[in-house]
Structure 1
Amino acid sequence: MGELLRLLKKGNKSALLAGIVNAIIAIIKGATFILTGNVAMFAETMHSLGDAANQFFVFIGSALSKKTPTARFPNGFGRLVNLVLLGAVLIVGIMSFETIREGFRHILHPTESSGFILNVSVLGIAVMLEATVLYKAMKEIVYDEDIEVKGINILFQSFKRLRNAKPATKLVFMEDLVATGGGILAIIAVIISNFTSYHQAEGIASILIGLMMFFVVGKVFLDNAAGAIGEADEKMEDKIGSLVMRDPDVKDIQGINVIKEGEDFHVEIEIEIEPTLTVAVADDIKDRLEKKILTEKGITDVLIEFDEDDGLLNWKK
């Protein structure tokens, strides 16, 4: 129990915050839907429920992935977060299907909902809360890239660097981006339905929100399927390669692999050195390089192999 609590403290904070916020929002939206019968509100309730469940799964998965390697699992549990996310997207997929189905049902059999002020107020508060969580995820993406930006520039930089974000942070970002956009879309549909006779607007909004959720499902599934298999990170390979080549005793790099497992990186590198160096000197070089590489954020282990310098330069990056 003590180890579990220790691991949970290391879980992704953005996912935990997003899960709590979306759970509260889902309860409020659900109660509003029961009172008003608004289909757009039903879509948003399903959306928030799916997001909350997803993000709690992500928080737990990101925490358990920090578990120390064991004799049975010597490579650690980094890919566990990817496996959890693959399971979590199934929940959002089911919610998406129900949302789209309810939207089609309302278009075919439109009904007038009540509680205009209540619907708009709840959706407006939900949009503000979800936008706050989205902004926090944006800041985390930028922070992980070790760059300092302020104001509106955080928005642009977070989109630009989303590909390199941690799996859990990326999921929170995408889900709350869709949640914020879906909330605005639902508000527009409620306004149209209230001030015109076009009550099908709520059904159309429900379908569009469901399709947006399906987009998140597809994107998250593809990203985490690659992570679960073990995806090479070319950007980190270039960074580590440049760092190693700056060492005066390194003549060349024959090969380098940086495998991303969850939020962790595993580095395997083969370098060329002078054949006249002693084993003791080579061991000092190995220790020095390992220490430098392990200072890079996210790298958990390094495997260095040596070969004699063949006089040809292979590393040209």
Structure 2
Amino acid sequence: MKIFLTGGNGMVGKNILHFPKAKSYDFLHPSSEELDLKNYSALSDYIKLHKPDFIIHAAGFVGGIQANIANPVKFLTENLEIGKNIILAAKDNNIKHFMNLSSSCMYPRNAKNPLSEELILQGELEPTNEGYALAKIITTRLCEYIHKEDNTFLYKTVIPCNLYGKYDKFSPEHSHMVPAVIKKIYEAKVSNQNQIDIWGDGLSRREFMYVEDLADFIFYAIEHFETMPQNINVGLGFDYTINEYYQTIAKVIGFEGTFVHDLTKPVGMKQKLIDNTKLTQFGWKHSTSLEAGIEKTVDYFKKHVLHD
């Protein structure tokens, strides 16, 4: 099977391409220099030329809270444009199988946890990443509309929880919580600091899945695409407190100092846990424990980030 993957240079894309099962498929993964996803005609010509059997859309303009707050226009317009282009170019070239990767930030900020797939557009979004969320909602709906108009087009959306792992970004401005904390605790240990700040009381809960587990799900979904739900959450189905993430990372790195809570700092949403009912019914489950995932990520950080 020939698969066209967008976003092959991103964290999710690289984990898909380096997953052992990837060898069984013929992957096309042009870089942004080779193919501009903002150029509809170039994209359509590329699909016409290569005739993929399946498209996975994992490309996106992404970043942490600071980047989202600073650049809402770019987060909305770029993600909307590339999402719309790839979906419509696929449809116009009669590609029947399309997997759209979205984000749990699509869910309303005040929705009751765990967050089920039916909650999309059922309330106000989290303002800090509203632009990105709006783009993801529209591409998710576009896939639904295409299937509704012609059910031979299987255009489905995967909604992962927060991810961490190999090929992640470890810079404070761009990284999510887990890689940022790994860098922070590692540097504290190396410089013999004995105290680390945690924003807020550390009791907010977050669901982070090791990214290789998502890659495993992607291949499972390719093999069972006909029966996959239209929209499906992919995550653990349970969460941990911020304090528990700090403690696990400290244990893996060997940091023996203390944690101090800075109660003047913002903490964001109290919880963001996805409902994994459909995922369980679909027959897939994650396999990497938090400690094992942190160990692999710290190992990657030491070998590839510190030495690059």
Indicate the TM-score class for this superposition, using the shorter chain for normalisation. under 0.3
Q: Which has the higher helix share?
A: 1
Higher strand share: 2
User: Highest Rg: 1 or 2?
Assistant: 1
- What is the TM-score when the length of structure 1 is the normalising length? 0.27
